[in-house]
Amino acid sequence: MRDLIRCRRGSVALATVVALIPLIGVVALGAEAGSWYVTKQQAQNAADAAAYSGGLWLACNQAAACTDAEPLAYRAKEFAAQNGFCDASDNTNKIAYPNSQCPSGTSQAVTIAVNGNEVQATVSQTQPTSLAKLLGMSTVTIGATAIAQVSKLSLPCVLTLGDPLQIQGSTTVNSPNCGLASNDPSANPKSEAIQFTGNNGIDVSNVKSFTAVGGCSQTGGTQCSNAITFLKSPTPDPLSGLNSVIASLTTASFTGGTKGVCPTVTGSTPPTAYGSGANACYNNGWTPSGNVTLTSGVYFFDGAVTLKSSSLTVTGTATLILLPKGTGKNAFQGASLTISGGPTIQLTGLSSVSSTQVPAALASVVSLMSDLVIYDPETTKNNQTVNFSGSSTFSLTGVTYAPNADVVYQGNTKSSSCTEVIALGITLSGNSNFDNSGCPASITGGNLQTQIVRLVQ
């Protein structure tokens, strides 16, 4: 008996069992806390979805771009419900949301608040505890908050519709009243939507905003730190309505001149603006020299338009329409535009275009042609048909529109007044100086203004 009392066999096992009791409790409590963390993540997802949905409703309402039979709070709570969180009062009032994923046995709350241009969504869930009851916690409330902000972006005086916006070399961009935007969706670091290369010489310190559907890349600089990237929606193309209508034109749409063709001109003689009678015609390729003054009007071209030589000056209030290449009977061969060699170009787009200044087929879209300086609908992707190079000096007050081609500014190109460009892709390179600080309110104030919705909390 004495030996049995003195025996220590099994004492370690007994101590281990005693120690395991609180250890198992702590592990179980940790597992319960882990489930709270998962619920917290789900709550944050629901809050983000609710706030963002409310922000989209608010942006749409502010822009008067759409109508919704349901109020903002309904749309926000709808997306919270689809992410597993429903407000208890909605259940009481029998408000049902499509595709609701709300669990039973829990008390949930969803509140939506609007403060100016911000929508705040707060979600919470109160649920019973298990082992936490031993610590005096019979229930636990888990919540999350998100804030979506609606921001009005300034007019993007530079907009790419599908290819990147590339800023290279020692380019200077002066754009204090409007921004630069890219609809290129690329998120590949080697081909981002906005690309800065050679940042030591690039000066974009006076640009109102950079926005992109894709990402932004830089070489050693900090320009991307000010860019708003990965937008949910692309910036709308305000002139897209022109494309199909101009594409429908054929040589038969022009009844003046000789079989629709205006008389060929050389030297300083200006081409023919579209009008009535003999002037209801289009111009073949144009290579002027000397000083050319264009009379106010819309000019249609089929063939190569080449503006080169430092001795050339082209001035006037005009819109240059480059006709697209077509197929079949009465199709155009297609026009292209090259500006090189240092000419001086001082053109201002027409503030308004009347139906008598264009073929009858374009009468329905003359409102879209206001402030338009150059239109190039070239359909060959990445064919750089609009090429500004050399030591050219531009004063293009209005819009250069090349929806299917890349526009390239290179060399010592300098612009002044208002140079707004909408193109498939845009490259600003060399020592080019790109300036749109002088854009009038008719351009900077309306058609291209857009809004974005982003989560700020």
Task: Give the DSSP letter string of 200-251.
Answer: TT-EEEEES-EEESS-EEESSS-GGGGEE---SSPPP-TTTHHHHHHHT--G
Number of neighbours of residue 222 by Cβ within 10 angstroms: 9
The confidence score (pLDDT) of residue 445 equals 52
The confidence score (pLDDT) of residue 447 equals 45
Q: Can you tell me the mean pLDDT for 320-340? A: 87
Give the CA distances from residue 133 to residues 31, 127, 137, 139, 143, in Å, rounded to whole numbers and listed in that order: 14, 12, 5, 8, 20
pLDDT at 380 over 80: no
Confidence of residue 21 (pLDDT cuts 50, 70, 90): very low
For 312, the enclosing helix (H) or strand (E) is none
Q: Among candidates 28, 264, 12, 34, which has minimal Cα distance to 134?
A: 28
Reading the block at residue 395, the tokens are 């004063």
Q: Can you tell me the mean pLDDT for 213-232? A: 85
Pairing status of strand 139-153 against strand 118-128: antiparallel
Place of tokens 């503030």: 351
Q: Can you tell me the mean pLDDT for 152-164? A: 81
The confidence score (pLDDT) of residue 64 equals 62
Q: Can you tell me the mean pLDDT for 83-98? A: 79
Confidence of residue 68 (pLDDT cuts 50, 70, 90): confident
Q: Which residue has the higher pLDDT, 32 or 325?
A: 325
CA atoms of 77 and 70, how far apart (whole Å)? 11
Residues of the chain above pLDDT 90, percent: 25
CA atoms of 201 and 445, how far apart (whole Å)? 31
**Among the ranges 7-11, 35-39, 64-68, 273-277, which has the highest mean pLDDT value?**
273-277
Mean pLDDT is lowest, of 30-44, 266-280, 306-320, for 30-44
Q: Which residue has the higher pLDDT, 107 or 279?
A: 279
CA atoms of 216 and 220, how far apart (whole Å)? 13
Confidence of residue 130 (pLDDT cuts 50, 70, 90): low
* Residues with Cβ within 8 Å of residue 211, at least 6 apart in sequence: 153, 156, 179, 180, 181, 182, 227, 228, 229, 231, 235, 452
Q: Which residue has the higher pLDDT, 152 or 137?
A: 152
Mean pLDDT is lowest, of 59-63, 228-232, 367-371, 382-386, for 382-386
Q: Which residue has the higher pLDDT, 205 or 112?
A: 112
Question: Buried b / exposed e across 369-408, counting CB within 10 Å, b at 16+?
Answer: bbbbbbbbbbeeeeebbbbbbbebbbbbbbbbbbbbbbbb
Q: Can you tell me the mean pLDDT for 268-285? A: 93
Number of neighbours of residue 316 by Cβ within 10 angstroms: 16
Name the amino acid, one letter, at 87: D
Q: Which residue has the higher pLDDT, 145 or 92?
A: 145
Reading the block at residue 278, the tokens are 């003999």
